Amino acid sequence: MRLETLLPLGKIDPGLRAPEVGLDLHAVGADARLLEELGYDGVAIEETKQDPYIVMALAAQATQRLEVGTAIAMAFPRSPTITALSAWTLQKLSRGRFTLGLGPQVRAHIERRYGVAWSAPGPWMREYVAAVRAIWKRWQNNEALDFRGPHYTINLMPPLFDPGPIEHPDIPIHLAAVNTHMCRVAGEVADGVRPHPICSAEYIANVMIPEVREGAAKASRSLAHFNICHKPLVATADTTAELALRIKDVRARLAFYVSTPSYRPAVEYHGLGELARKLSLLARSQEWDRMPDHIGDDVLETFAVLGTHAEIAEKLGRRFGDVVTSCEFSISVRNQADKERLTQIVKDVHSHPPDAVRRRLGANGAEL
């Protein structure tokens, strides 16, 4: 199993509070070089408080081997041409190490935060990916550009705005997903899927992967190189006393996720629809402090991986080793002991081969 991380190192999900430590843009290069030294496979950034393309440019410029990617960047508020150029530039800068992770957003954010008209995300994303790839083909091969769809008509590319070919034109595209429709779209048109943290190992194995395979079969695509990159809910610390505090934060964040209607399929899969509806009512009335009390230990352990630093690599491998190709995780590195501990965690996570995942994805006839 491959290992990647968000920044800063050891970024802790703060539950429903503001994060204790934010991303220091001036430290991105040094942190990325440290990840490369520790043996990490990749670094990623989510689009929340920083522009993900700028952050990944800082990481790419500072490293030689480490893969860089957006996990994820918003698709629909940006024109496909804008996204295509950002990815093209990062792929050139990183010399072929960039992965474009794209995601939709819920209706309220699309309309009220981005000021964009709403449309069904599945068909929209399918068209969006096709448009981005059509633009890349134009730049790489000088192919005629005449893309037409329900959302986009793109047929103008004057020489002044054509960046031309690059050495590594095949940029992987990963799609964020929870529901079955987006999983099928990923199988049809993408190179990977990024399950939301609310997606349990069982849900990924029994719902998401079969839908990915169905989409790939519909498009007659091989999944031989398809990736499943997961950012699981994790509570970890050096001691059991510190771990109890991290578990409290993860319990609060899980309560928020369970309350969110868009994530309902991953919750209802485990028979927790009534709990989800109860938490939605509490969220609607902004009774945030009461919500974590409804997440029992059995529910917590269904969705989250809990363990000390000495245990966490083995627990991550046991939980996700046969359903994902890549996992997101790190701990803070404050001294040499932390550095050695994280180096060992990286080695331990790497010890879980991807064979079982490939077999699951290969069930549609893909070569392994």
Element (H, E) at 298: helix 297-303
Q: Quick one: which of 346, 157, 298 has its CA closest to 306?
A: 298
Yes or no: domain 2-71+172-364 corresponds to CATH 1.20.1560.10: no
What residue segments make up the domains of the chain, in order of their start? 2-71+172-364
What distance in Å separates the CA atoms of residue 250 and residue 243, rounded to the nearest whole number?
10
And the tokens for 169? 């034109």
The 10s digit of each residue's pLDDT in 178-204 is 999 999 999 999 999 999 999 999 999
Residue 310 is encoded by which pair of tokens? 């000495």
**Six-digit token pair at 71?**
């996990």
User: What band does 14 get if pLDDT is binned at 50, 70 and 90?
Assistant: low
- What's the rounded Cα separation, in Å, for the pair 234 and 351? 19
Q: What is the DSSP letter of 18?
A: P
Residue range 214-242: average pLDDT?
A: 96
Counting Cβ atoms within 10 Å, is residue 327 exposed (0-12), middle (13-18) or buried (19+)?
A: buried
- Other beta carbons within 10 angstroms of residue 59's beta carbon come to 27
pLDDT score of 15 more than 60: no
In the numeric block, which tokens belong to residue 267?
A: 């919750």
Pick from 15, 102, 66: which is nearest to 300 by CA? 15
The answer to whether the beta carbons of residues 64 and 34 sit under 8 Å apart is no
Residue 227 clears pLDDT 90, i.e. is over it = yes
How much of the chain is in helix, strand and coil states, percent to nearest 5?
Answer: 50, 15, 35
Mean pLDDT of 45-69: 97
| pLDDT at 174 exceeding the cut of 50 | yes
Amino acid letter, residue 236: T
